[in-house]
Structure 1
Amino acid sequence: MGHVQPVDVCSFSTIGKLLRFGFSAMFGFGGRTLALAEKHRWMSPNQRRDFAVIKALAKLKPEDCEISFLPFKSSQDLQERRAQESPKSDCNEQWQMIQGQFLNISIMAIPCLCSVAPRGLAPNTRLNNGSMALIIARNTSRPEFIKHLKRYASLKNQFNFPFIETYTVEEVKVHPRNNTSAHNPEEEERPHETASENSFPWNVDGDLMEVASEVHVRLHPRLINLYGGSMEEMNDSKATCNCL
């Protein structure tokens, strides 16, 4: 049947501007794939998805980014920290930063079960545990990246690759360090009417979001209530993917 349960929600913002709310986001390969699919809306959903994935893999290239994130701290960790430190020290959060060439960056507040990933795009995440999964695919060869993608459809660990890094976080900032690899609609045969030059495509819950600057993703624990089954109840059910 189901029941009402709270669900974590993410907010996406750029400098001084709230862009939208959502549950999951992909930048890099995931964003480019959706941008390609949006240019071929005349195709059926399955054809559009397959075409976009193949074309994005054929033109696979990394994004030069700076990623800052605030590691997740459980309620127990926060209580212990507050007992040991002064109240003013809570304001000085320990942000971490990594830089480099990344093929894909995924930020997931929920597991995102779908037909192409029965265990979920972020299987270690829950609906309301107050954290997000930050999954980073560093630059690697095309065959190795394809092996990683194929793992999502199996029971094997899709993160067991040397170029994959996973973090449990509360906030993330993704800052593209140059516009040389930005999405340029003139490169495609059928330009998308809403595409803007020198912007970077994001896939947010299957919707295309184009931003030319840094994006700040912040988690809002248990922000909304939804009616549905728990993750355990969904394990044996079939789900469909509407990301593209």
Structure 2
Amino acid sequence: MHVATEAFERASVEELAKGVLFDGQRRCWVCLVCGRSFAEGEVFPREGRFWEAGAAARLHVREEHGPLGRWLVDLEREWGGLSEAQGKVVEGFLEGLDDGALAARLSLSRSTVRNHRFRLKERARQAKAFLALMWVLEEGRAEGDRFVEYPAHSREVDERYAVTEEEYARILRKYLGEDGALVRFPLKAKERVALLRHLVQGLEPGRRYAERELNEILSAFHADYVLLRRCLIDYGFLDRTRDGSAYWVRL
């Protein structure tokens, strides 16, 4: 399951539902599913027409990723937010089924389906309160004490990813030379993950890199570019085709 994590964290509920976010700093529209960006002011050819950036981003989401309801359901399942039974109920509602038709499909009673619908509504209310609480907590954090963001789809999100902004800056100072290259590759997984996050910031989301092109970029950072490439894949920062002919950013 792909998700452009940093953009996802900033997106409003409406933007999540539409699958696109306007990044004011980079002046571009970002696909929240794959991270592809569409620069403001550029036009994009598609289907024999030219589209401005916002429209091109929305068209990309619709054609490349399909109905966003399905994506959000799968995302909730992956993150443990929906049980298998709840996922099937939501999928039925997304198809436009009423309580009776959905009950017949899933071999449930109408009252059971209504109960699922009520519980989902309650979860939405609870989620709204929890989001407000987290906003208050984060706003109260001292500068540098907030956690840096990592890919939501990393293989195993654990204490290795619990790095504050202050720790992150300290790790970069420790392992990067004045030219920005890696002085040595750390043994500690937490420091390794932080450096991989820094490295992937130099790659363009939404762009596909040939293996040779990626190797050239990584070799400027460290001589053992094969190790870096493997770690970027293993820790969930990059994805690739099965034959390894193309790589792209998952962050």
Q: Shorter-chain TM-score: what band?
A: under 0.3
What is the TM-score with the length of structure 1 in the denominator?
Answer: 0.22
Greater radius of gyration (CA):
2
More strand per residue:
1
More helix per residue:
2
What is the TM-score with the length of structure 2 in the denominator?
Answer: 0.21
Bigger relative contact order, structure 1 or 2 (CA pairs below 8 A, ≥6 apart): 1
